Amino acid sequence: AQSVSQHNHHVILSEAASLELGCNYSYGGTVNLFWYVQYPGQHLQLLLKYFSGDPLVKGIKGFEAEFIKSKFSFNLRKPSVQWSDTAEYFCAVTLRGTDKLIFGTGTRLQVFP
Amino acid sequence: NAGVTQTPKFQVLKTGQSMTLQCAQDMNHNSMYWYRQDPGMGLRLIYYSASEGTTDKGEVPNGYNVSRLNKREFSLRLESAAPSQTSVYFCASSVGDRKNYNEQFFGPGTRLTVL
């Protein structure tokens, strides 16, 4: 069955540190990949998405993610985090041609000033 | 444009009570979804509706029923609530064009506690 793994459950960083959150999926076919963010007390918002083309995808607020097909990975990165990036981050996958999202278990990011 | 709205925001039930969670979207989307979010488990799909008049089970449908009342509204019903259904419930919608996947837009969530 299709699944998404996020190995970092809780990440604590100081402001200006670099961030990389891991995401791996298990499916051999063509997938669409997403990162969603949930700020404290708020609903999920789309951070970035990959459908095809350039495997390096840029999203909002300085986030980017790289799709590495050979590693079944879609890691999220930001060169310098801010306190306002404190949130929970979810990686998600859907099969091309369907609209059902499979979510990872999420990574809670805490950024201290 | 309100996007996706959900009512109520909070609810406390006793075991065995029933209730309906309401969801509406004003984006003219075809597809709508119900998820539950539990600590350490991410979001899991309960039911979804690809279009008005159709519904399908997701990953965790047991104990729930849904109704796609019209294109705008998609309700989730708990007939006999159990403590295991304590969770945060999110409704989402998307254009539903399967040729080109479209972003899902999420509502603010309903925090449900079953005692």
pLDDT digits (tens, 9 = 90+) for B1-14: 779 999 999 999 99
How confident is the model over A54-95, as pLDDT tens digits?
Answer: 999 999 999 999 999 999 999 999 999 999 999 999 999 987
Give the pLDDT of residue B32.
94
Greatest alpha-carbon pair distance for chain B in Å reads 44
Compute how many other C-beta atoms are within 10 angstroms of the C-beta atom of residue A56: 11
- pLDDT band per the 50, 70, 90 thresholds, residue B101: low
Which residue from B4, B42, B94 is facing A106, i.e. has the nearest CB? B42
Secondary structure (3-state) at A61 = helix
Q: Is B104's CB within 8 Å of A103's CB?
A: no
Q: pLDDT at residue A113 above 80?
A: yes
CA gap B99, A69 in Å, rounded = 21
How confident is the model over B73-86, as pLDDT tens digits?
Answer: 999 999 999 999 99
Selected residue with higher pLDDT from A8 and B100: A8
Per-residue pLDDT, averaged over B32-44, amounts to 91
Which residue from A6, A90, A98 is facing B43, i.e. has the nearest CB? A90
Q: Does B96 touch chain A (CB under 8 A)?
A: yes
Which residue, chain included where needed, has tokens 């709508």?
A: B32
Q: Is A103's CB within 8 Å of B43's CB?
A: yes
CA gap B50, B25 in Å, rounded = 14
Q: Does B106 touch chain A (CB under 8 A)?
A: yes
Mean pLDDT of chain B: 92
> What whole-number percentage of chain B has pLDDT above 90?
80
Q: Does A104 touch chain B (CB under 8 A)?
A: yes
Residues in B closer than 8 angstroms to A104, CB to CB, are: 42
Using CA coordinates, name the residue in chain B closest to A52: B100
Per-residue pLDDT, averaged over B86-108, amounts to 84
For chain A, the distance separating the N- and C-terminal CA atoms, rounded to the nearest angstrom, is 41
Per-residue pLDDT, averaged over B62-90, amounts to 96
Per-residue pLDDT, averaged over B85-91, amounts to 96
Residues in B closer than 8 angstroms to A59, CB to CB, are: none
- pLDDT band per the 50, 70, 90 thresholds, residue B99: low
Q: Is A103's CB within 8 Å of B90's CB?
A: no
Secondary structure (3-state) at A50 = strand
- pLDDT band per the 50, 70, 90 thresholds, residue A27: confident
